């Protein structure tokens, strides 16, 4: 019941049921604990999540990696990034979710430098990030204007065959454009079989940042002709 209410967005009901459960001899398993922490994350209820964490420690419940991953997610979503990192460091055998959760937590709190650093460590240890994770790291590189790190992520995407996915290419265009490397941004843009609004906007914004307004206007007109319906044509 607790997990069901949490899944359907009734977080407050999940927490109420848990409080009733505490008065019984029934011990929550890892699925219930995870559901409760997800509920607290949704409500940004830091006090409730800490109480559940303390309850688990007090009861001596074994916390496998899945529960610790949810705790890391809870703390970072509530803005307590250092607490999340301390828990991450306690995981002896990390799985892919451990790494991506901590990286996402850094990014959600604008700890872009830490996110990029953790990605580098993850890649060095042989873990493979998926396309969405790769795009997220490129977003951090763009925010930092960290061109060298962005190139490393680009090389990684090529090695693991993620560079062919359009959302990765869009993120590469955005990263190179924000790092003022328009030649590389345009090279990625031109390699796309089909452009979309995201790729056009990233490239146009890059040209605008460098005051190359003629190129920006040419691309805007091309986008208008190729992508915008006639009813939205601007003249």
Evaluate if residue 192 carries a pLDDT over 60: yes
Do 135 and 209 sit in the same domain of this protein? yes
pLDDT category at 226 given cuts 50, 70, 90 is confident
| Residue 10, pLDDT above cutoff 90 | no
Among 109, 142, 168, the domain-final residue is 109
Q: What is the pLDDT of residues 77-112, one digit of tens each?
A: 999 999 999 999 999 999 999 999 999 899 889 998
Q: What is the 3-class SS of the chain, one letter each residue?
A: CHHHHHHCCCHHHHHHHHHHHCCCCCCCCHHHHHHHHHHHHHHCCHHHHHHHHHHHHHHCCCCCHHHHHHHHHHHHHCCCHHHHHHHHHHCCCCCHHHHHHHHHHHHHCCCHHHHHHHHHHHHHCCCCCCHHHHHHHHHHHHHHCCHHHHHHHHHHHHHCCCCCCHHHHHHHHHHHHHCCCHHHHHHHHHCCCCCCHHHHHHHHHHHHHCCCHHHHHHHHHHHHHHHCCHHHCCC
Q: According to the model, what pLDDT value does residue 46 have?
A: 86
Q: Which residue among 52, 77, 109 closes a domain? A: 109
Q: What pLDDT does 190 receive?
A: 95
**Same structural domain, 104 and 130:** no
What is the residue-averaged pLDDT of the chain?
Answer: 85
Calculate mean pLDDT across residues 135-139: 90
129/235 same-domain check: yes
CA 49 to mean position of chain CA atoms: 21
Give me the half-sphere count of Cα atoms (radius 13 Å) on the Cβ side of residue 125: 13
Whether 144 and 78 map to the same domain: the answer is no
Number of structural domains in the chain: 2
195-202 contact pairs (CB < 8 A, 24+): 195/223, 195/226, 195/227, 196/166, 196/170, 196/227, 197/223, 197/227, 198/167, 198/170, 199/166, 199/169, 199/170, 199/173, 200/227, 202/170, 202/173, 202/174, 202/177
pLDDT at 20: 58
Range of the domain at 98: 1-109
* pLDDT for the residue numbered 24: 60
34 lies in the same domain as 136: no
Reported confidence tier of residue 64, pLDDT bands at 50, 70, 90:
confident
118 domain-assigned: no
Domain identity same for 96 and 130? no
State whether 20 and 50 are in the same domain. Answer: yes
CATH number (domain holding residue 69): 1.25.40.10
pLDDT of 7 reads 52
Q: Which of 20-24, 32-36, 202-206 has the highest mean pLDDT?
A: 202-206
- The answer to whether residue 214 is domain-embedded is yes
User: Is this prediction's pTM over 0.75?
Assistant: no
Residue 201 inside a domain? The answer is: yes
Domain annotation covers residue 120: no
């Amino acid at each position: 019941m607790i997990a069901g209410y949490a899944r359907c967005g009734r977080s407050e009901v999940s927490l109420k049921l848990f409080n009733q459960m505490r008065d019984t001899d029934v011990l929550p398993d890892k699925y219930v604990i995870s559901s409760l922490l997800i509920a607290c994350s949704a409500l940004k209820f830091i006090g409730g999540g800490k109480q559940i964490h303390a309850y688990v420690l007090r009861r001596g419940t074994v916390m496998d990696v899945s529960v610790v991953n949810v705790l890391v997610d809870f703390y970072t979503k509530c803005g307590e990034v250092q607490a999340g990192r301390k828990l991450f460091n306690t995981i002896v055998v990390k799985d892919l979710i451990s790494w991506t959760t901590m990286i996402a937590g850094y990014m959600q709190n604008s700890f872009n430098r830490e996110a990029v650093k953790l990605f580098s460590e993850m890649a060095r240890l042989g873990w493979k990030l998926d396309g969405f994770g790769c795009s997220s790291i490129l977003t951090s590189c763009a925010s930092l204007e960290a061109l060298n790190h962005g190139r490393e992520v680009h090389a990684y995407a090529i090695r693991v065959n993620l560079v062919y996915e359009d959302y990765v290419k869009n993120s590469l265009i955005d990263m190179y454009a924000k790092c003022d490397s328009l030649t590389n941004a345009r090279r990625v843009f031109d390699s796309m079989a089909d452009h979309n609004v995201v790729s056009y906007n990233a490239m146009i914004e890059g040209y605008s940042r460098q005051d190359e307004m003629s190129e920006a206007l040419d691309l805007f007109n091309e986008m208008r002709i190729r992508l915008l319906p006639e009813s939205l044509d601007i003249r």
